[in-house]
Structure 1
Amino acid sequence: MLTWAIIALVIALIAGALGFTGVAAAAGTLAKVLFGIFLVIALVLFVLGAVAV
């Protein structure tokens, strides 16, 4: 999940540098959403791991 967020971020940066603002905005939003999902899943797994021990 984090890998896909980083890939979307790189695409957004490249598209923004080349002037494709629509693509950059969409890829940036996608990167934010994927990173948010990654954080939620990581937090849940961390809590479950701490409870199991």
Structure 2
Amino acid sequence: MAYVISDECIACGTCIDECPVEAISEGEIYKIDPELCTDCGSCAEVCPVEAIAPGE
């Protein structure tokens, strides 16, 4: 199951460099492409506001 980014995202950019498959795209609130996400959790580990969690 792909990870998702909530509305709590502050668009700091920390997660983008951590994603090994470049599944995260920039924007006012970042988004994770579920087709590319490998469910590794690297992005969630570095998010300073805990806005990234496993999807349902």
Please report the TM-score for the alignment, with normalisation by the length of structure 1: 0.30
Please report the TM-score for the alignment, with normalisation by the length of structure 2: 0.29
**Structure with greater strand share of residues:** 2
